[in-house]
Every structure is written in C-alpha cells, then in structure tokens.
Structure 1
Amino acid sequence: MTTSPLTSDQQQFTEQLLAQMTLAEKIGQMTQPEKNSVKPGDVARLALGSVLSGGGGNPEPNTPAGWRAMVTQFIAEAQQSRLRIPLIYGVDAVHGHNNVVGATIFPHNIGLGATRDAELVRRIGRATALEVAATNVRWNFAPAVSVPQDIRWGRTYEGYSQDPRLVSDLAVALIRGFEGDGWTAPTAVLPSVKHFVADAATTWGSSTRAQSFDRTLSNATMTQDFRELLERGAWQIDQGNAEIDEATLRAVHLPPYRAAIEAGALNVMASYSAWQGLKVHAHRYLLTDVLKGELGFQGFVVSDWEALDQLHPGDYDRCVVDAINAGIDMVMVPFDYERFIGSLTRAVDSSAVPLARIDDAVRRILTAKVALGLFEQPHTDERLLALVGCGAHRDLAREAVQKSLVLLKNAGALPLDPHGPEVLVAGADADDLGAQCGGWTISWMGGRGPTTPGTTILEGLRAAAGPDRVHYSPDGHVTRDYRAGVVVLAEEPYAEGMGDRADLTLSAEQAALVARVRARCEQLTVVLLSGRPLVITEHLPAWDALVAAWLPGTEGQGVADVLFGRVPFSGRLPFDWPRTADHLRRGDGPAPLFALGEAAAALEPVMGD
C-alpha cells in the first residue's frame, strides 16, 4: 500500500473541506482555463482550481515582475471565493522558466540526457523552481519522461534519451530539484510528469491532429506556411497511435512514471496519443487501473490542452463523460471553460458521471495543494525575483552546455587554439540566440533572433579568443583562406507536431554553406544545433570534426569553452544516430552511424586565459 503524502491531520482537513464543497465548487476545482480566456471575477465566482499560461501566454510587459503581478492577481482572486481554496498556476517551464524574457534558458532535455549527470539535472531543477516560484507560479508542466523511438517526432528533444533507465534517473533528479527542501517549502514547485503513456511510440502517419486548423494552431507563430509544413511532415506522428504491445509499453515507457511517483510526484499529464487505437484521455485501464491502482499514484491527472475535444469530435458531452470516468481529474480547457463546467454538471446530474468519481478527483487535487502548503502560504516571497536570470543560474546553464556537447568526429581539428591563427566562423545560426534555444522559448514555437537576453555561440567564441581572432561570415562567402573554420548549422525552431519532419537531411542551402567554407579552410568543424540527430552520413567524410550541440539555450559561451579546449568534451549520445534517411525509427534498418552512448575520445583541455 502506498503511503499517503499527507499527515493524518492533513487528510482530515482535506476530507472536512471536501464535505463542505458544493458540486459547483468541486467542478470548479477540476477546471483549468488559459489566462487569456478568464473573465474578471470568474476565478472566485466559479471557484476555479487552476489557471495556466500556454506557450507564449505572457503578460505585457513580459518581465519577471510582470509575470508575478499577473499570477498574483489570479491567486488573490481565488482567496475571495467562499471556501478560499488556493489557486495553483501552471506553466510550461520545460528548460528553465522559458516563457519569461530574461530567465535562464537551460539546454533542452536531449542535451541534458547527453550529460548523463543526475546531480547537474537536480541543480537545474532547483534553479528552475526558484525562478518559477519567483513569479508566484507553483506548478510546472515538466518533466517530459518520453522515450522517443522515431526521431522524426517533433518532441524528440523533450526526451532525455532512448534509454528508459537514463530517462528515469534524470526525471527523478529534476523532481528532487523542484522539491528542494520539501514539498511544503515556499519554493517547491509541483512537477507534472508527462505525457502518460507511450506518447513517444506512435506510428508515423497515424496522427489526425492537422485535419482541422483550429484556434490552437492559429495561435502558433510559424515562419512557414502551414501547408508547406504539412508537406514536410508536420503532424504525422505527434498525437498519433502507439501500436506497441503491452509488454513493450511496460518495459520501455512505463518505468519513468513508476520512478517519478516513487520520488513523490503528485501530478501526471495524460497524453494526446492513443494506445492500440484508444485515446489515452479515455483509457480507463491505463489511467485508473495502471496509474492509480497498480502504481499507487495518489496525485491528480490533468488533461492536455483541449485534448478532450479529440475523443468524440462534435459530441462534447460524450468527451467529458468518457474522460472523467476514465480517470482525468482536472481538465485543461483553455478557451470554453464554462462549456466544460456545464457539460460535467449535466453528466453528474444524469448519473453519467458518478458523484464518487468527482469526489475522488477533487480529493486528489486538494491533496496536492495541501502537500504544497498552499493553504498556509498561497504566495511566494517577492524577493525571489532577484534570482530570475541571475549570474549563478547562468553559470549553471553554461556548465550544462559544456557537459552536453558530444564529439562525434575529430581528425585533428579540435581543440581550436585561442592563441593561434584566426578562426572563420560561418552560418547565420552561429549568431542566433533563438536558434540555440529552439521551441518553447518565449513563445510556443520559439523564434529566431534575440528573443531573450543571452550569449550566442559567436559571442562566446569572440569572448574566448578575442574579437579580432574570430572572423564571421553569415553566408560563408570569404575572400581568403583560413587554417580553421567552424560552421554552425541549426534546425528551425519548432514545437510538438509542428516539428514532425519526414526528411532529416541537411538542406541544399546548408550543404552549400558548408561546401563554401570547406573550400576556404584547412580544417573544418561543423557544430549542429538540433532537437534530434540529423542524417549527415554523406557529408561527414568532408568534415574534420563534428559536434552535436543539441539546443543549448541562452549560454553560448559553454560551446566556446569546449571548442577551445578549456573544458573537455564529456557528453555521450542519448540517442542512436541514424545512418540513412530511410531508417529514422530505432531498431529499424542497418546499424546506426553512431550508437546510443557513443562519443569520440575526449580531448585533453588546453589551459589558458
């Protein structure tokens, strides 16, 4: 029997509070709208349990203080409701408090997986929790514990690795960082372990998400036409159907959830995807029998953004009944929260949803709020704002970048000599902070350019060797030869299914850029900024060195530190690196070009200023 996260007195308090609640108040606690949809006064009137910011759901101005003021207003309004049940605000702080301009942006999970350093990830979790709590937010929709099998998936970078044991270890470390000194501490942040379960095992071509261009997709900032993205593979695998058998689900995809629950996680987010044809949001066996029963999970399950609508398009009442009865406890209903409240009320009145299921859901929500100490201390200390983007956190992010880089080839090109001949750096991505950070940065899709304060790779290289020793050409057109050249290539920023891609080879423009620099350099190093391995087999013989830098975030100096040998390469591949464009799913086709766990021999550091 799993031990309750609450003391006997806390359990008694929870039961007494539940007994005082009306049906309307209970359903209000089960409702989570997006902040832009909430009408003034509705938090108190409807006793809403939570409000969230979606990706890019930012205040004006987008500053740490602006965030705190916005969130505080919702929390304060909840204190005006009849029972004064505290509201918990949720955000996607998936690599730092990444919606906030000025926050520290850490490497995405794929980079942290390359570090294989659980203690580092714990410290990142603590720093992230402090920056999140500074804005009065106490719920973070992280960690993703996906175990990606097909790297065409646009969420591959949200997975730590293809190794379930490594995923489990790093997820637990992040959760420990979120907890800090204990769940009741005012800087503890509730983790949301996602997306339950096997979201990373779906079959290419099984997604139906792009069949309608709805409000969610219209809110996405895209640099390309939506139809063009669909032609390139967008929404082909994300939110699709996992056709795997139960043995594979249990062996590969379930272990990180078991580990997270044992570490004290009190929230799990359900997956949009289906398992063997049935959407997880309607899957009672997975949500109730396995998660809550077999794994002993005593927290609450939250739905994903508008996910209920996908269960039975055109029959919303049936969607609500099936999801709640399956085990969804809180519903992320970003736009039409009163429609959800009305639908669930009718379902209870007609006995389509038993009142006991409502009480179970609300008890779970209250349990998490009591465990976080929100009833005693609904607000955090405003002085924490000084920690957002602070020097110590940026130093930590720089360390994470250093440890995340994986050296895949080196034929004498690295380390660069900071005191030697001038170095040519080429590629617009070398001086693009947004490209370094990727998706889920300031906005849902992310974006190119100086979207938030930070240091680009070019700036880091120039700081390390001096501006006169690092020459820069965005397009690779130069009029002289160089002993050493560095080309930085990046995927465009993307998130979720918008980043599904059928083709992971370099573009013609990227190949031409590298060829121009190759012709002008005695030794060529290619640095890849990507959310997954890319197919580079045909190009690799012409490169002297290859560095997988993933999506390192705001601290580009970390890349420079390692390229110049001040810090040795230590990262190892968290994923298999495919050999061909026809074999992008793990275990499909010939042996990988580089295997999970692989790296070239570490370089000896070069000491110097």
Structure 2
Amino acid sequence: MYRSALRLSSLGLVLGVLAAPAPAVHGGPVRAAPGPGSYLDSRLPVEDRVADLLARMSLDDKLGQMTQPERRYVRPEDVTRYRIGSVLSSGGSAPSPNTPQSWADMYDGFQRAALAAPLRVPIIYGADAVHGHGNVAGATLFPHDIGLGAARDPALVRAIGAATAQEMTGTGVDWNFAPCLCVARDDRWGRTYESFGEVPELPAAMTTLIEGLQGDRLGGPASVLATAKHYLGDGGTEGGRDRGDTRAAEQELRAVHLPPFREAVKRGVGSVMVSYSSWNGLKMHRNGYLIRDVLKRELGFTGFVVSDYNGIDRLDGEEGFTRDEVAAAVNAGIDMAMVSSDWRRFIGYLRDAVRDGTVPMSRVDDANRRILTEKFRLGLFERPMADRAYLRTVGSPAHRALARRAVAESQVLLKNAGGVLPLDRRDRVFVAGRGADDIGVQAGGWTITWQGAPGPVTRGTTILQGIREAAGPSATVAYSRDGTGVDRSYDAAVAVVGEQPYAEYHGDLTGGMDLDAADLETIGRLRASGVPVVVVMVSGRPLDIASELPKWDAFVEAWLPGTEGAGVADVLYGATAPTGRLPVTWMRDASQQPINQGDGKKPLFPLGYGLTYG
C-alpha cells in the first residue's frame, strides 16, 4: 500500500490548478507562475517538475525549504507562513499521548499547514529511528548497530530497515536519521553502539539498511528517506570524545572513514548528515572540501546534506550561531539546517547573506533542487499524509519475531568452560542482575527518550521473561535482582549485568571502563553458592572484565538487544546456536584504548572472535 491517497478531503487542491500567489513573508510578492502547475503532474520527469517549481519560488519559499525546526518550537501556522520545508522530532520529542495514532495526527497537522502555503510544497518529517521507531511507545526496537555488526547479516539488516519503514509510515514520519555509518575506533566513545564495527567493511556491508528503508525504489510502498551519518570521521576522534577532533592524515580518513559513505551513495541514499566533530581542527559543518568536493562531486552524491541538531551553532567555538556561521555552513554545502528553536533567526541571517552576495543565489537554488528532488522521488506531492493502514504494523508480531531473530544472531559467546551452555530446559536456574528484568536497560539509549532510561519504558519481553518462556514446564526459574537467595540447589545461575542507558556525549567514558560495583557484588553472590555462573553482559561496548573473566564459567555479550529479550534466551537454551562475532576488538584493560585490529596491541579477544556450541 502507498501512503494513503485520502490524505485530506482538500487534497484535490494539491493536484489541481495553483491558487493566486500570496504575498511573501518578508520580501516582494511571489512571482507569478509561468502557466499551469506542471510540477504537480506526476507523469513528468522529476527533473522537469523540480525546474518548474523552482521557477515559481520566491526567496522566502527557498529559505523555508532549507530550514528544519524541532516540533516543540514551531506551530502549524508557522509552517504555512514561513514555507518551512521540514520538521523533526529530536530524541524524546513526542506528541501526547505518545501513541502511533497521535504521531499520525501530529504529522498530518503539520502537513496540512505546509499544503496551505501558496505553492503547496509538502514538508518532510524527520526522526532518529536508529534501532526501530524508537521515539514511539510500543514500536518494535531492534538491536543497536553494534549488535547487528556482530550478526554480520546484511540481508537481516535490510529486513530490519523495511520493518522500521513500515512502522514509520503508519505514523507519517517519512525521513529517518539512519543509518549511522561511523567506524568506531575508540570504545570510550559514547556512540560506539551506534557503529556496526571498527573496520570500514562492517558499516559498508550494513548499508543494506538504506535499501530496506527506501525500498526497491524511493516512493514505493512504505518507503522513507534514509540518512547516512555522521559525515565524516566522527568515530575517530581523539580520546573517543563526542564532537571532538579526528587528527588523521587524509589518506587515513579516506581509508577508514569514507568507504561506508561511498557505499551508501552507491545504494542511493537520499540524505547525508554532517558530523559535529572536526577534522584536524576544522569543524565538519564548514568543511567545503569534504562536503562539496568529496561527497557531492567525487562520490557523486545527488541527495541533500543536512546539519546535525544545532550543528551550525559552534563553528566559532561559542554557543548560538552568527550570520557568518550560517553563511559558512551553507557555502560549505549544507543544504538544510537543523536549527531547532532559533529557526527564524537562521532564515533572517541566510536572507541577509543572500541579498548581499555572501551566499550566492546559485547555492540556494542548488540546495532547493536537491531537497525538492528527494521530495518528488519520495512521492510526497502525490501522497503527503500519513498512511494509517500501516499503523497496525507498529509493534506487530511479525516485526517482533524479526527482532527476536536479530537478537539471537547478535549474541557473541566468548567463554563456555565445561560446556555449561546451552542450559537444559529441565534445569533449575537462578537469574539475577539489574539488566535481567528491565526493558529500558536492554534497549539502551534512543529509546522513547534521547538518553534512554531504566524501567518499563515501552512494551517488550525482558531477558528474564524470555528465560522463563524458554525453560521447560517442570523447570524452576528463580529471580533476585541482587542475587540474594541463591543456593546449591540450582543447576546454573545467570547474571545479566552491564551498562545503564546512555546516548551521545553523555555516554563518553573519560575514566575507567569497569563493571559497576553493584554488578560485581551480584556476580560474587552467585559464585559463592558454588553453582556454575553464566554472565550475560548488556552493554554498548566492551568493558574491562579481564580480571573477572577467570571467575566466570560462561560469558555472553548481548550488546543492547532492544525490546525482544527472548532472543537472548534462545541462545542460552540452544534454540539458536550462537553465531555472532565481535565487531570490535576487546581490550585487556582500558589503558589499551584505542585498540583496533592490526595495531600491534594484544587484545583479550580479537575482532571477529566468537564461539558456538558443540
């Protein structure tokens, strides 16, 4: 099914003859259209439709298309008045109540406002659906990218992209700020889990997510625009500092960080997001060489480039943006600015820069041509409203089954002394740990809110619930969060430990990378009982566990599995054999960071390591 053709009882206006042009917001009148609205004729080539529409647009129309406010800071009437081209939901920004239906209603409200402007150019609505439609309560949440990198299954990743696109389509959101194609070179970085791995081959292979999101063709059934991010080198900053500086020769930048973006362009990705970080001291948001010359000309990228959230603000090292920063970013090749609350000032600064020639009109036209081309390709002019037929897919059994399979494939078995795994369905099992019965912990950041949070934040199956379902009807599965109550009567104990939720910047580690003291105490209680101890780690990156590992009978890295914890149990009980392999090198201790394949450092486990049963 395509985006619903219903869309508005008034949508016939969109497909009909243009109304008389209204006055521009701040300048002279909109120029008279040179004839019937041929850009509304879907039978014409996209290039011709774009050219016709551009010829009708005033400067105000064009500036609006280049502007993306956050939904909390823009009203539908602003979208109409300022010809806004896009609106976004940042992490945790959701309508109330947070239901799929409410999202569709919100989206349609903004879209009606866009269609009420003289030229009736639809908006495109963006969100960070980085492991499923994560802002929406009840959506299916898949493993974060590091787990999918461990699974090493491009076809699976394509299917995840398609499922995510369906759930987005039902809510109206038609632009996904994913995939993240960073190559994580330092595990202290708070976005390590957003990376498919430490070598460029892994994220390059997983660009199949783009094909899943956009479909066989952009604008087909349940097709949303994909975004390759963050361009370029964000995974290589010194010290793993988010928004930091990647100090590297161009040869290294090209060899390590560019290949996934080259592959994304080959797969037809519609947008690219620029990184907060710098390359050798120059902020990426003003790096014309890498954006204009390398991305657009050398790689042949024909989509549009969007800034990161308020990414233009700190080009001069100070908060807030100036007119000079706006001009520098646009001239460097940024086509659309994600400017959250201060979007009116952005429009004003850009207008002034165009009028005095600091930003050439040809640059503004190029940006609009790129943005409008993707909107036409996406079919927004014909099908602008949310396709509510897809609402039934949000959190559907089929999507949860796919996620469960992805979770199982992402598990990496790193130790299995004495063959304690797989567990027998008749075993008496004692389960403990802060991550055992907590959807929020196992889903991690970018889940309902930006940083994520522990607790029952959305629907799903915890790892404990999965274990109870996997055990046989006569088996005993006991649970205590801190491990109290375990004794020798159990056949095995499972400790689910690891990291609490976090996201970019706040998740950077500047000190140690040890397990939390509470987790170590829990494991200690289980060990003291004398039963075999299986440690399941829920984390977004390797942690410093070398000194503890000899005390554990088995060790499984579960990454951040999302809402379907039963996939972890599938591996613990042998319903699925472990096949995951490390997408990053596992350090012996935190002092080795950064540690990567081929750097001469001796790891605890090398890149690609992983055991299986039997």
TM-score by length of 1: 0.91
**1:53-92 mapped onto 2 (5 Å cutoff):** 53-92=89-128
Q: Which is worse superposed, 574-583 or 478-487?
A: 478-487
Partner of 1:209: none
Moved more, 344-353 or 467-476: 467-476
Is 2:603 the counterpart of 1:596?
no
Kept in 1, the 8 Å contact 2:149–2:197? The answer is: yes
Q: Report the alpha carbon displacement of residue 7 of structure 1 after superposing the two structures with TM.
A: 9.9
Give the counterpart of 2:176 among 112, 135, 140.
140
Match of 1:164 in 2: 200
Deviations 1:554-595 (A, max 9, x none): 001111111011110010001000111201212467311101
Unaligned runs of 5+ in 2: 1-41
One-letter code aligned to 1:197: L
- Aligned residue in 2 for 1:496: 504
Partner of 1:316: 322
Give the Å deviation of 1:413.
4.6
Match of 1:485 in 2: 493
Change (3 A) 1:289 1:417: closer
Q: Which amino acid is the alignment partner of residue 132 of structure 2?
A: G
Residues 434-483 of structure 1, C-alpha deviation per residue, up to 9 Å, x if partnerless?
A: 00000000000000010000010001101111586111111111252233
Counterpart-to-counterpart distance in 2, 1:385 and 1:301: 30
Gap runs ≥5 in structure 1: 1-5, 205-235, 605-609
User: 1:123 is matched with which residue: 147, 153, 159?
Assistant: 159
| Contact map agreement 1:485 1:521 (CA 8 A) in 2 | no
Q: Of 228, 233, 238, which residue of structure 2 is paired with 1:193?
A: 228
2:301 to 260, 279, 297: 297
The residue matched to 1:12 in structure 2 has which SS?
A: helix
- 1:466-485 matched pairs, under 5 angstroms: 469-478=476-485, 480-481=487-488, 482-485=490-493
Task: Please state if 1:391 is matched with 2:393.
Answer: no
Distance 1:352 1:484, change over 3 A: same
Aligned to 1:184: 219
Give the secondary structure class of the aligned counterpart of 1:333.
strand
Query: 1:99: Cα distance to partner?
Result: 0.6
Shift of residue 431, structure 1, vs aligned partner: 0.5
2:243 corresponds in structure 1 to 239
State the Cα distance separating 1:186 from its structure 2 match: 4.1
Alignment match, 2:35: none
Name the structure 1 match of 2:28.
none
Q: Does 1:45 align with 2:75?
A: no
Establish whether residue 572 from structure 1 lines up as the match of residue 594 from structure 2: no
2:542 is the alignment partner of 1:508: no
Cα offset for 1:67?
A: 0.8
Matching residue's letter, 1:389: G
Identify which of 70, 73, 76 aligns with 1:34. 70
Q: Quote the offset at 1:179 in angstroms.
A: 2.1
Secondary structure of 2:479's partner? strand
Structure 1 position 430, deviation (Å):
0.3
- 8 Å CA contact retained: 2:444, 2:452: yes
> Would you say the 8 A contact 1:202–1:273 is kept in 2?
yes
Q: Distance in 2 between matches of 1:343 and 1:569?
A: 55
Q: Which moved more, 1:506-515 or 1:361-370?
A: 506-515
The one-letter amino acid of 1:294's match is E
Cα contact 1:27–1:345 (8 A) shared by 2: yes
Q: Which of the numbers 413, 429, 443 marks the counterpart of 1:437?
A: 443
Alignment of 1:524-535 (within 5 A): 524-535=533-544
Cα distance in 1 for partners of 2:169, 2:197 equals 28
Structure 1 residue 318, shift from structure 2 partner: 1.1
- Residue 303 of structure 1 deviates from its aligned partner by 0.2
In 1, the alpha carbon distance for the partners of 2:582 and 2:119 equals 51
The amino acid of 1:183's aligned partner reads L
Q: How many residues align?
A: 566
Q: Secondary structure at the match of 1:86?
A: coil
Shift of 1:533: 0.7
Write out per-residue CA displacement over residues 355-412 of structure 1, whole angstroms, 9 at most, x where no aligned residue. 1110111111011111111111112421110010000000000000000000000012
Using the TM superposition, give the Cα deviation of residue 506 of structure 1 relative to its aligned residue in structure 2, in angstroms.
1.2
| Identity within the alignment, % | 52
Instruction: Say whether the 8 Å CA contact 2:243–2:277 is kept in structure 1.
Output: yes
Is the aligned partner of 1:342 residue 2:348?
Answer: yes
Determine the C-alpha separation between the residues in 1 that align with 2:389 and 2:440: 29
Partner of 1:224: none
| Secondary structure, counterpart of 1:307 in structure 2 | coil
Closer/same/farther in 2, CA of residues 7 and 316 from structure 1, 3 Å limit: farther
* Residue aligned with 1:498, SS: coil
Identify the residue that residue 231 of structure 1 maps to in structure 2.
none
1:439 corresponds to which letter in structure 2?
G
Residue identity matched to 1:489 = V
Structure 1 residues 479, 79: closer, same or farther in 2, change over 3 A?
A: closer
Query: 1:125-158 CA deviation, whole Å, 9 max, x = no partner?
Result: 0000000111111100000000000000000000
State whether structure 2 residue 527 is matched by structure 1 residue 518. yes
Query: Secondary structure at the residue paired with 2:534?
Result: strand
Question: Does structure 1 conserve the Cα–Cα contact (< 8 Å) formed by 2:434 and 2:519?
Answer: no
CA distance in 1, matches of 2:479, 2:210: 41
After superposition, the Cα gap between the structure-2 partners of 1:366 and 1:293, relative to the gap in structure 1 and judged at 3 Å, is same
What is the rounded CA distance, in whole Å, between the counterparts of 1:369 and 1:129 in structure 2? 16
Residue 207 of structure 1 corresponds to none
> Could you list the per-position Cα deviations for residues 494-522 of structure 1 after superposition, in whole angstroms to 9, with x for gaps in the alignment?
00010001221112222121111111142
Is 2:171–2:387's contact at 8 Å kept on the other side of the alignment? no
Change (3 A) 1:397 1:168: same
Query: Which letter maps to 1:475?
Result: D
* Alpha-carbon separation, structure 2, partners of 1:294 and 1:144: 21
Residue aligning to 1:254: 258
Partner of 1:582, secondary structure, is helix
Of the structure 1 ranges 286-295 and 506-515, higher mean CA displacement relative to structure 2 is found in: 506-515
Q: Tell whether the 8 Å contact from 1:72 to 1:379 is kept in structure 2 after alignment.
A: yes
Q: What secondary structure sits across from 1:430 in the alignment?
A: coil
- Determine if contact 1:523/1:544 at 8 Å carries over to the other structure: yes
The more displaced of 291-300 and 416-425 is: 416-425
Among 364, 375, 379, the residue aligned to 1:373: 379
One-letter amino acid matched to 1:241: D
Tell me how far 1:76 sits from its aligned partner: 1.3
Question: Hey, what does 1:226 align to over in structure 2?
Answer: none
Question: Who is 2:33 aligned against?
Answer: none
SS at structure 1 position matched to 2:494: strand
Aligned to 1:401: 407
Deviation digits for residues 407-442 of structure 1, max 9, x if unmatched? 000012532434433111111210011000000000
Name the CA distance, whole Å, in 1 between partners of 2:412 and 2:437. Answer: 20
Distance 1:414 1:398 in 2: 23
Cα distance, 1:512–1:84 mapped onto 2, change above 3 Å: same
Against the structure 1 CA distance between its residues 30 and 518, is the aligned structure 2 distance closer, same or farther, given a 3 Å change threshold?
A: same
Preserved contact between residue 92 and residue 142 of structure 1 (Cα < 8 Å): yes
- The one of 287, 290, 294 aligned to 1:286: 290
Q: Does the 8 A contact of 1:32 with 1:51 survive in 2?
A: yes
Q: Distance in 2 between matches of 1:466 and 1:579?
A: 38
How far off is 1:96 after superposition? 0.4
The answer on whether the counterparts of 1:418 and 1:464 sit within 8 Å (CA) in structure 2 is no
Tell whether the 8 Å contact from 2:421 to 2:554 is kept in structure 1 after alignment: no
What is the alpha-carbon distance in structure 1 between the residues aligned to residue 533 and residue 472 of structure 2?
20
CA contact 2:104–2:386 (8 Å) conserved in 1: no
